[in-house]
Amino acid sequence: MSLSMNSTISAVNGYKLVFIPHKGGEYLVEAVCSHGYDAETPMLTGITELLSRVLLRSSFMQRGNNNLEHSLKSHGIIEMKSGVREHFTWYYIRGDEDINYALEYISSIITNPLITQDCVRAHIDAIKIEAVQRKNNSVIQMQNIVTKTLTPSLAKSIDPATRLDSIDPTKLLNFYNKWYTPDKISIIVYARNTGNVKRHLRKYLKKKNPGMPCIKSVIYKQPRPHVIHLPHMEMVKSRVWLVFSKAFSNSTYNTFYVKLSTRVLRSYLKSILENMECEDSITPYCETVTLKFTCFSEKVTEMIQAVYDIIQKMNISQTEWIDQKRKMLQDLPKRKQIIQRNWRLMEHYTNHNDIVDEDVIIKNMNRTEFNSFFSVFFNFSNIILLHQAPSKLSDRKLLSKVKVLAGTPSPQASQRKKFSWKKFILG
Buried b (16+ CB within 10 A) or exposed e, 53-91: bbbbbbbbbeeeeeeeeeebeeebbeebebebbbbbbbb
Concatenating the DSSP letter of every residue in 377-395 gives HS-GGG-EEEEEESS---H
Residue 418 has pLDDT above 60, yes or no: no
pLDDT score, position 336: 54
Contact 292, 240 (CB under 8 A): yes
Alpha-carbon distance of 41 to 14, in angstroms, equals 28
Q: What torsion, rounded to 10 degrees, do the Cα atoms 268, 145, 344, 340 define?
A: 90
Exposure of 19 by Cβ count < 10 A (0-12 exposed, 13-18 middle, 19+ buried)? buried
Above pLDDT 90, what percent of the chain?
A: 10
Question: Which of the pair, 242 or 352, is modelled with greater confidence?
Answer: 242
Residue 350 has pLDDT above 90, yes or no: no
Question: Which of the pair, 24 or 342, is modelled with greater confidence?
Answer: 24
Above pLDDT 70, what percent of the chain?
A: 81
Contact 19, 29 (CB under 8 A): no
- Asked which of 73-87, 132-146, 364-378, 399-413 is least confident by mean pLDDT, the reply is 399-413
pLDDT score, position 319: 92
Contact 190, 18 (CB under 8 A): no
Residue 292 has pLDDT above 90, yes or no: yes
What does R_g of the chain's alpha carbons equal in angstroms?
23
pLDDT score, position 315: 86
pLDDT score, position 341: 55
Distances (CA, A) of 35 to 212, 298, 415: 13, 44, 43
- C-alpha angle 151/396/386, rounded to 5°? 35
* Residue 243, φ and ψ in degrees, nearest 5: -110, 120
Average pLDDT, the chain: 80
Torsion over CA: 205, 209, 210, 215 (sign): negative
Alpha-carbon distance of 110 to 59, in angstroms, equals 10
Confidence of residue 2 (pLDDT cuts 50, 70, 90): very low
Residue 141 has pLDDT above 60, yes or no: yes
Confidence of residue 426 (pLDDT cuts 50, 70, 90): very low
Chain segment 222-264, per-residue pLDDT in tens? 888 888 888 776 777 888 999 999 887 766 677 788 888 998 8
Confidence of residue 395 (pLDDT cuts 50, 70, 90): low
Confidence of residue 113 (pLDDT cuts 50, 70, 90): confident
pLDDT score, position 243: 94
pLDDT score, position 252: 67
Q: List, in order of start, the domains of the chain with CATH numbers.
A: 8-204 (3.30.830.10), 226-425 (3.30.830.10)
Bridge partners (DSSP) of residue 77 are: 95
Beta strand pairing call for 384-389 and 226-231: parallel
Question: Which of the pair, 398 or 427, is modelled with greater confidence?
Answer: 398
Residue 422 has pLDDT above 50, yes or no: no
pLDDT score, position 34: 86
Among 169, 181, 184, 173, residue whose Cα is nearest residue 206: 181
Chain segment 42-65, per-residue pLDDT in tens? 788 889 989 999 988 776 655 555
Give mean pLDDT, residues 351-372: 81
Residue 121 has pLDDT above 80, yes or no: yes
Distances (CA, A) of 152 to 135, 160, 219: 18, 15, 8
Chain segment 270-284, per-residue pLDDT in tens? 877 777 889 988 777
Give mean pLDDT, residues 376-383: 89
Give mean pLDDT, residues 75-100: 85
Residue 40 has pLDDT above 90, yes or no: no
Confidence of residue 323 (pLDDT cuts 50, 70, 90): very high
Chain segment 163-219, per-residue pLDDT in tens? 788 889 999 999 999 999 999 998 988 887 777 888 889 999 888 888 877 777 777
Q: For the chain, give the number of residues.
A: 427
Helix (H, G, I), strand (E, B) or coil at 284: coil
